[in-house]
């Protein structure tokens, strides 16, 4: 087992990793920016060190500062959480060069899946369905030839993209050239790689993802699927597991495809294969996230598998604690992302000081958060301040429990998305389970609000 683990992250995921390490008896080192000096992860870690000023480029993305801190404190492993360094293959290489274990997949696996065009090719080679698409586009003429063959609309995507950035939907020839230029510029700006490719755009599909775990001995399992269709401009707002749109046959097929994909790249650790489900029930691979995800909690609730603990154990050289036959999914879980945002003002971030904080509780209720009364939310980072997860024997039981937990959740001093989530879980279309990625836009229209 590791002697000491550095957590190269902040917020609720840093707290989550620290707790998992504590249960395994592993001392932890937190790193933090000047803006996060009073963050909860700093208080909970065994030791904590400031690595730079507020901007993430000078702190949480400061590789020399992170590596130096790890070496200075005797850490033999680094957990990246999600975001920041979690999908940086160059960071994995640097950790390896300094004799530090990166708790996650190899740099090779990360590169294969991090480049979306390469990922598509890998899926095709392993009989995983993908939407019709292209390789890296060199000219507008190549994009136009594909669009004429596949039919509009198409979507242009940054090959190194993620987080909803570097994506452009094109509905006609007239829009193609300008959108391709803009997509390439965004790809260069956000990811340092101007490469883009095209896919046939599926109008308002379901967004389904499958959680996988792999070890260094070739063992890979899946933990079922999550439905992430409730999203605004490609940013997820609410997730649930299992998906109300998936039957057992499709669940097993998707799970098997995700396992094949992971085995094809010798995947180690926690990861997620994301799929799109169209209106006819056909599903297609979209991308693989080579890290633990924000919404891993809903899968933990229905599988009773501690995903972060498994990450750490696998990285330390142990085999997976479970075989596929051991995984029995029970009940239903829903997660609401609690953000410091104003839903009535275009979801504008609302940093500031939390004047009062009361988290809900009770059977089947879980809160993952780094927030507390008196905590000052900095304006420099993601606006998520916590996750509320509720479990029930049935979807409706989980939904009703979520509504009551949201009513009990008190955060004063700032605007949050709690009232918005209360409305969503009581919405008739959400209750029906018959929704897709167009749900939020449709919800706003039905309620006479501006999207």
d(CA 345, CA 17): 33
pLDDT band at 163; cut points 50, 70, 90: low
Q: Are 140 and 148 in contact (CB under 8 A)?
A: no
How does strand 165-170 pair with strand 101-102?
A: unpaired
- Max distance between CA atoms of the chain, in angstroms, equals 60
382-400: average pLDDT: 97
Q: What is the DSSP letter of 413?
A: S
pLDDT in tens, 342-360: 999 989 999 999 999 999 9
| C-alpha–C-alpha distance, residues 197 and 215, integer Å | 32
291 annotated active-site: yes
Parallel, antiparallel or unpaired: strands 47-52 and 28-33: parallel
Q: b/e for 279-313, b at 16 or more Cβ within 10 A?
A: eeeebbbbbbbbbbbbbbbbbbbbbebbbbbbbbb
Band (pLDDT 50/70/90 cuts) for residue 39 is very high
> Is 218 exposed, middle or buried (CB count within 10 Å of its CB: 0-12, 13-18, 19+)?
exposed
Q: d(Cα 26, Cα 413) in Å, to the nearest integer?
A: 36
Q: Please state the φ and ψ torsions of residue 306, each to the nearest 5 degrees.
A: -80, 100
Chain segment 76-88, per-residue pLDDT in tens: 999 999 999 999 9
Measured in degrees and rounded to the nearest 5, phi and psi for residue 356 equal: -145, 145
How remote is the C-alpha of 222 from its chain's centroid?
16
* Residue 119, pLDDT above cutoff 90: no
Sequence-distant (≥ 6) Cβ neighbours of residue 379 within 8 angstroms: 349, 351
374 and 4 Cβ atoms separated by less than 8 Å? no
Domains, the chain, with CATH or none: 5-103 (3.40.50.20), 132-200 (3.30.1490.20), 206-446 (3.30.470.20)
Catalytic entry in 206, 232, 291, 401: 291
Q: What is the CA radius of gyration of the chain?
A: 21
Contacts of 174 (CB under 8 A, 6+ apart): none
* Cis status of the peptide bond prior to 44, with omega within 30 of 0: no
Q: Reply yes or no: is the peptide bond before residue 361 cis, omega within 30 of 0.
A: no
Closest by Cα among 325, 319, 329 to 391? 329
Instruction: Give the pLDDT band (50/70/90) at residue 451.
Output: low
Which residues are CB-neighbours of 178 under 8 A, at least 6 positions away?
none
Supply the pLDDT for residue 121: 86
What's the CA gap between 262 and 291, in Å, rounded? 12
**pTM over the 0.75 mark:** yes
pLDDT (tens digit per residue) in 395-438: 999 999 999 999 999 999 999 999 999 999 999 999 999 999 99
């Amino acid at each position: 087992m590791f002697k000491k683990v550095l957590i190269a992250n902040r917020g609720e995921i840093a707290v989550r990793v620290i707790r998992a390490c504590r249960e395994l008896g592993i001392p932890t080192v937190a790193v933090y920016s000047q803006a996060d000096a009073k963050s909860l992860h700093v208080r909970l870690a065994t030791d904590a060190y400031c690595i730079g000023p507020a901007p993430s480029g000078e702190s949480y993305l400061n590789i020399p500062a992170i590596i130096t801190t790890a070496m200075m404190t005797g850490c033999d492993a680094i957990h990246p959480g999600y975001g920041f360094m979690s999908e940086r293959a160059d960071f994995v290489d640097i950790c390896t060069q300094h004799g530090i274990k990166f708790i996650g997949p190899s740099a090779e696996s990360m590169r294969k899946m991090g480049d979306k065009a390469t990922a598509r090719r890998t899926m095709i080679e392993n009989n995983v369905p993908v939407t019709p698409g292209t390789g890296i586009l060199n000219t507008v003429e190549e994009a136009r030839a594909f669009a004429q063959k596949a039919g509009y609309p198409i979507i242009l995507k940054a090959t190194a993209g993620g987080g909803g950035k570097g994506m452009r939907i094109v509905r006609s020839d007239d829009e193609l050239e300008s959108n391709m230029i803009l997509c390439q510029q965004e790809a260069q700006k956000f990811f340092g790689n101007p490469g883009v490719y095209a896919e046939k755009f599926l109008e308002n599909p379901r967004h389904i993802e499958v959680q996988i775990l792999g070890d260094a001995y070739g063992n890979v399992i899946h933990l079922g699927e999550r439905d992430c269709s409730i999203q605004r401009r490609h940013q997820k707002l609410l997730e649930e597991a299992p998906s109300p749109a998936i039957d057992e046959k499709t669940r097993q097929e998707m799970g098997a495809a995700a396992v094949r994909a992971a085995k094809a790249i010798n995947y180690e650790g926690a990861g997620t294969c994301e799929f799109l489900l169209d209106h006819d029930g056909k599903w297609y691979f979209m991308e693989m996230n080579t890290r633990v995800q924000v919404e891993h909690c809903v899968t933990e609730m229905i599988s009773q598998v501690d995903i972060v603990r498994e990450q750490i154990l696998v990285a330390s050289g142990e085999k997976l604690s479970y075989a596929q036959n051991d995984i029995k999914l029970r009940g239903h879980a829903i997660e609401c992302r609690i953000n410091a945002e104003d839903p009535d003002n275009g979801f504008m971030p609302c940093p500031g000081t939390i004047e009062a904080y009361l988290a809900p509780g009770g059977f089947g209720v879980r809160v993952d958060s780094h927030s507390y009364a008196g905590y000052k939310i900095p304006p420099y980072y993601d606006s998520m301040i916590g996750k509320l997860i509720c479990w029930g024997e049935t979807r409706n039981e989980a939904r009703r429990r979520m509504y009551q937990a949201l009513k009990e959740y008190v955060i004063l001093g700032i605007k949050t998305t709690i009232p918005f989530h209360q409305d969503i879980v009581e919405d008739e279309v959400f209750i029906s389970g018959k929704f897709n990625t167009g749900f939020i836009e449709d919800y706003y229209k039905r309620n006479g609000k501006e999207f």
